[in-house]
Amino acid sequence: MNKKETINPKGVRNQNFDANKMNTHQSSKGKKKNDKDLPWWVEFLFVQIGLPDKFLIKILKTKKKAKEVIKNEKKFFITFLFIVASLAYFYPVIKHAKNKLDCEAIAKNYILKNKNIIGINKRELKMLSSNFCYGGKEIYEIENLKN
């Protein structure tokens, strides 16, 4: 029985070695987390250029507040981005329609002033101005018919 109760010194050393190895491994992970590299913009602006530290403090506080606002107002930001995307998507269509209407108005005035067409109704005038805006030559044919 005495042999079973005696402690093997090699076994104790191995257990202590394993425990120390685990402790150093965990502490090295903690050191790695604490010794993170600075973000590139911090290093560039505050280390290389040498801006004052009070700017860094203000930037970090603002960044923290912005994250909180975004987290709390997620629905508002998604709605806002959807509206902006919709406007960006439909803007070319709206611009084309506006340019078309402007061109038709200018062409209508041109036809009335230069062609001396008296017996024409509004629909025909609109048709002629649309045709003129898209490169049609009906106006010149009407002029040739009167001459």
CA distance 92 to 98: 10
Q: What is the pTM of this model?
A: 0.45
122 touches 101 (CB < 8 A): no
Q: Which two tokens stand for residue 132?
A: 């003129």
**30-47, pLDDT tens digit by residue?**
555 556 777 888 888 888
Instruction: Give pLDDT, residue 136.
Output: 79
pLDDT at 12: 53
Q: Is the pLDDT of residue 132 over 80?
A: yes
- pLDDT given at position 81: 94
Cβ atoms of 129 and 101 closer than 8 Å: no
**pLDDT, tens only, 103-129:** 999 988 888 887 777 777 888 888 888
In this predicted model, what pLDDT tens digit does every residue of 91-108 receive, in sequence order? 999 999 999 999 999 988
* Contacts of residue 116, Cβ cutoff 8 Å, sequence gap at least 6: 146
